[in-house]
């Protein structure tokens, strides 16, 4: 006959396994959703894989380029006003 502690321990292990499997399946589903979001175009009217900027880079590179351009404008304005950086 099985000891009650052994039965409880076995039930706990089975329960933890079931919960871990459910969490793993949910995690994989969430990752798949994020992959699909990244692959999807930004709008329905946007062309598939249309480049965001002239060089053919995507959204992240476009943001970096805009930030770089803003920094250059600030430097040029400082030079024009006679302020040393």
Residues 52-68: tens digit of each pLDDT: 555 556 667 778 888 88
Task: Report the pLDDT value the prediction gives residue 40, as an integer from 0 to 100.
Answer: 80
- Residue 62 vs residue 13, higher pLDDT: 13
Q: Which of 72, 39, 69 is nearest to 54 (CA)?
A: 69
Assigned token pair, 54: 């002239």
Q: Where are the domains of the chain?
A: 1-40, 45-85
Residues 14-56: tens digit of each pLDDT: 999 999 999 999 999 999 999 998 888 665 445 555 555 555 5
Residue 72, pLDDT > 70, answer: yes
User: 61, 55 in Cβ contact below 8 A?
Assistant: yes
If DSSP codes are grouped into helix, strand and coil, which group holds residue 49? coil
């Amino acid at each position: 006959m099985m000891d009650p502690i052994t039965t409880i321990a076995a039930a706990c292990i089975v329960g933890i396994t079931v919960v871990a499997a459910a969490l793993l399946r949910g995690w994989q589903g969430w990752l798949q959703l994020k992959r699909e979001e990244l692959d999807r175009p930004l709008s329905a009217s946007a062309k598939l894989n249309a480049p965001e900027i002239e060089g053919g880079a995507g959204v992240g590179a476009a943001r970096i380029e805009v930030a770089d351009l803003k920094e250059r404008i600030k430097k040029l304005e400082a030079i024009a006003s006679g302020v040393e950086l």
